[in-house]
Structure 1
Amino acid sequence: MSDNAIHSDDEGELFNGFGSAPISRVGSGKRTTKRWSFHNNTKPNLVDGPSELSSGTRRLSDITGEDGVHKVASSSVLGGGQLYSTESGRLFHAGKICIALAGLPGRGKTHLSVSLTRYLRWLGVKTHSFHLGNYRRASAEDDITHDLFVPSPNSKKANEIRNKIVDECLNDILNFFKHDKGQVAIYDAVNALPEYRLELQRKFADMNIQVLFIESLVTDDAIIMKNMEEAARSSPDYVNWDYDKAYKDYSERIKALAPYYQNMGAKDENLSYIKFINFGERIELHNSNYGYLINKVVFYLMNSRIKSGSVFFARCYKNSLDYTKDPPLDEAGKKYARNLAKTLIDHLKANGKDYILEPVNPDVARLRPSSLKRQLSVDERQPAAGVDGVDEDSLVIWTSVKQRTIETTQYFAERNVKTRHRIQLSQKNPGVVANMEEPEIKEKFPEEYEQYIRDPYHYRFSRAESYHDLAIKIEPLILEMERMSGDILIIADDTILKVFYGYLMSCSCYDIPYLNFPTDDIIEIKFNAYSNGAERIPIKDYDE
């Protein structure tokens, strides 16, 4: 049966693009880049469901894998912070929503679409980003110039290609809602003209899909320049390009499109839209009669910034200590702290970040452990929102309130690096199975152990916490992290690091318990507009 046969006659235009002839899925031409079609019955099984985990303990997983934010949104994969699930995979009270971005190139739309997808998936919302650029790259031909990017190309060939890629993208969005039971689709495109935006709204409304436009406007030239530099270095459009040529090409693309773009305003008065100005400097809401899920989107936008720094993870010393114990660092622990600090500082300097000061008073660090007997001040535990990490050239350290994590920062303290101590970063409480090895747990609690093996992320032993409990506990820190632009170092138990990593790399909750954080590595998460990356930094021994 053809694709078109599965839709009624009055649905044909919707599923094949606005005002277009039906798109043939067979013989449509060779693509230079593979893209995923949501109307494809051969989609891969991304993760074995929990019922299949009972066959045996899974091996620990490498933590330098691929960012999962672009993987197909499967209803069998729950978000780390998901509060409940349904048979359909959609939250009960949220409906179907298309978030359509608008704005010129270089305004951070792709960054915004990817970060929103990451956050909504973490909340358990079945979300997928549809980047029109992916469809363009799949259909691009070498002799097509920047004429392809303007709303009405002069070239007949460019116009045909443009209509084709828009039709394919919208077709996949609508199939995502109808056949894959998707809840939020994010349409990453320029959407330059008011009449097109109105038509988009009308067609989706006919399908009972809410439409929210988010227009990314940038009035700060410094932000535009930085975004252009980032695009020239890391955009999929410029793989293997010389940087200068890529920057010039991207600049020309913006100049070609700028005369056509019309800011959202009076002509869009019937649309629901958000003006997102200078990436969070100011937010304007129009027709803001929103429901639960869109309000979560607005809340996220209020905390979102373009990231320049990285997130570094380091396991705390003696990660296996009893949950109730809180000893100070021993000599080996102090050596670990010293090596950790020197390794990270050397790594930052090697990457052109020389903002960390030389030691101003070494005695400050040595005296710090004894001062921990006093109660931590409010500023040390939780400063006012927006205080930390505002500058791109900054480092903030987060630790739990355990002595050994706080004392691990002493060699950063002498360099005046900000350190914050968060109660939310306390390790997962193991409850009745504390200090037990797996064979002993299996012997003493066979039924509980079987349930744990089936779903180690959500299951909690008696008087214990689950990984899911940690995810809910650290959500305020995730939002605080999103507000920060500089570097962050998190020193904590590996149970905490697994959950943070799961968010930043869009891991399935079924994979999070099996992530492996070696004691002798720092893990760096690098932010990118299209996908995050993870790298290992071996901790050097400076005493050798």
Structure 2
Amino acid sequence: LSSRTFRETLTSTWASYMTNSPTVIVMIGLPARGKTYMSKKLTRYLNWIGVPTKVFNLGVYRREAVQSYKSYDFFRHDNKEAMLIRKHCALVALQDVKAYLNEEGGQIAVFDATNTTRERRELILHFAEDNSYKVFFVESLCDDPDVIATNILDVKVSSPDYPERDRESVMEDFLKRIECYKVTYKPLDPDEHDRSRSFIQVINVGRRFLVNKVQDYIQSKIVYYLMNIHVHSHSIYLCRHGESQYNVEGRIGGDSELSERGRQFSAALKAFVQEHHLSDLKVWTSQLRRTIQTAEELGVPYEQWKILNEIDAGVCEEMSYEGIEEKYPEDPTRTWFSGWSRSSWSWSGRATCWSSVIRPSCAVCSPISWTRVQVRC
């Protein structure tokens, strides 16, 4: 198999394992509540774990239909002409969702729009039912004026809706746009009207959550990721361990200690941390000695995670590259990858490609919710 064919086969097989029918994730919330941010982050994560996912942002469709944006009046509920345009854009976007899920191999479509009325949500539900799609709602609720103002200034000022507009006029117009949506906004009702729906409500950018009727594994992954997402920026440093004795000897795997140059690297890493004033560090390592010894030099607390251990080489563990070629004279590259393309089971005792996706997933999600600096060796 070529690398591309292998990757496509792996993605298709893994996606069918994760999902038993296509899912439409429907974003809900007033403007400036972080819906697009969550949509992009969630889509990136789902694609990373092997589930083909695409965002359909209704704002893009609106801007294509209406070339120039004038003011918040376009979003008034009594602007009948604009309401017809907005509904038409939603229908066009849903047809693109259908094409993606039915014809292009997609498994999840993220419908990124306000979807603040029950009428709009019922339209989407009927569309999904007609096409045998599952629906999962993600509602962002926020009444913190500081968060809303920050989001407007950080994101909306540079929006295509406001070319060459100053910050004050953007803020004024956008706040009026929000008021237009508030007139008809009906949040999800977990007690009565929407109690049979599958959804998560993200309240005040993650201070609280309400989760209702999760249907399947992929929805649980979505919930897990959204409960760990963080809207504030922070730094994550990924660091390879220092050179090990097995690196010097040309062997793979194993649990050898650092070489002399590896210890020098650890000292240099400590100097880097001190030079850049990386205080309040949270450090993670694998359970292998070479990573632990690299972190110990930093002189700060660290956690050992089994899921960060190097992928197991099976019968080739601790062998040199020359030894592998001598014992397994066939193409070493084909030997190394052939087991991964067969199934989720290990081949020749080595870890599979499935495990290389599954094991690190929570290690990737968890640090997203931390606000302090993190180093991972």
Normalising TM by the smaller chain, what interval? 0.7 to 0.9
Residues 201-253 of structure 1 deviation map (CA, whole Å, 9 limit, x = unaligned): 12321222222222111233443344334324776767887766665665454
Asked if 1:217 is matched to 2:164, the reply is no
Distance 2:162 2:117 in 1: 27
Partner of 1:488: 374
Find 2:6's aligned residue among 47, 50, 53: 50
**Distance between the aligned counterparts of 1:334 and 1:291, measured in 2?**
47
SS in 1 for 2:239: strand
2:262 to 327, 333, 336: 333
- What do residues 113-140 of structure 1 show as CA deviations (whole Å, max 9, x unaligned)? 2233233334433322212123234444
Which is helix-richer, 1 or 2?
2
What pairs up with 1:6-405 in 2 under 5 angstroms? 48-50=4-6, 76=8, 78-79=10-11, 84-85=13-14, 90-91=16-17, 94-150=20-76, 152=77, 154=79, 156=81, 158-159=82-83, 161-232=85-156, 250-265=174-189, 268=194, 271-286=197-212, 288=213, 290-318=215-243, 320=247, 322=251, 323-328=253-258, 330=260, 332-344=261-273, 346-347=275-276, 356=279, 394-405=280-291
Q: Does the 8 Å CA contact 2:57/2:113 hold for their aligned counterparts?
A: yes
Q: Does the residue aligned with 2:183 lie in a helix, a strand or coil?
A: helix
Q: Deviations over 1:135-189 (max 9, x none)?
A: 2344442353233445x46273x44543443232111011122222433211110
Structure 2 gap segments, 5+ residues each: none
* Identity value in percent: 27
Using the alignment, how far apart are the partners of 1:126 and 1:340 within structure 2? 38
Q: TM-score, normalised by structure 1?
A: 0.57
- 3-state SS of paired residue (1:408): helix
Contact 1:396 1:418 in 2 (8 A): yes
Range with bigger deviation, 395-404 or 441-450: 441-450
Structure 2 CA distance, aligned partners of 1:422 and 1:272? 33
Distance change in 2, residues 1:471/1:136 (3 Å): same
Q: Go from structure 1 to structure 2 and tell me whether the alpha carbon gap of 1:245 and 1:428 turns closer, same or farther (over 3 Å shift).
A: farther
* Letter in structure 1 aligned against 2:218: L
Judge conservation of contact 1:91–1:125 (CA < 8 Å) in 2: no
Shift of 1:94: 2.6
Q: Deviations over 1:449-501 (max 9, x none)?
A: 3534666865876343345433333233233234323332111xxxxxxxxxx
- Kindly tell me the number of residue pairs found equivalent between the two proteins: 364
Higher relative contact order (CA 8 A, sep 6+): 1
In structure 1, C-alpha distance between the alignment counterparts of 2:136 and 2:129, rounded to whole Å: 11
Task: State the alpha-carbon separation in 2 of the partners of residues 235 and 436 from structure 1.
Answer: 55
Equivalent position to 1:407, from 293, 296, 299: 293
Residues 248 and 485 of structure 1: is their aligned pair in 2 closer, same or farther, counting only changes over 3 Å?
farther
Instruction: Give the secondary structure class of the aligned counterpart of 1:121.
Output: helix
Moved more, 195-204 or 473-482: 473-482
* 1:387-438 deviation per Cα after TM superposition (whole angstroms, max 9, x unaligned): xxxxxxx53111123344233334542xxx542222322223334434433x
| Equivalent pair of 1:329/1:404 in contact (CA under 8 Å) | no
Relative to structure 1, the CA distance from residue 342 to residue 141 in structure 2 (aligned partners, 3 Å threshold; closer, same or farther) is farther
Amino acid at match of 1:178: N
- Could you tell me how far apart the structure 2 residues matched to 1:96 and 1:283 are? 25
Shift of 1:317: 0.6
Distance apart, 1:279 and its partner CA = 3.3
| Partner SS, residue 375 of structure 2 | strand
Deviation at 1:269, TM superposition (A): 5.4
Within 2, Cα distance between the matches of 1:404 and 1:453? 24
The 3 A distance-change label for structure 1 pair 161 and 124 is same
**Equivalents in 1 of 2:177, 2:354: separation in Å?**
45
CA distance in 2, matches of 1:177, 1:272: 20
Report the Cα distance in structure 2 between the residues aligned to 1:410 and 1:280, rounded to whole angstroms.
33
Contact 2:144 2:204 in 1 (8 A): yes
Structure 2 residue aligned with 1:474, among 360, 366, 370?
360
Q: Does 1:427 align with 2:353?
A: no
Deviation readout 1:330-375 (Å, 9 max, x if unpaired)? 3x4344223324435555x6xxxxx72xxxxxxxxxxxxxxxxxxx
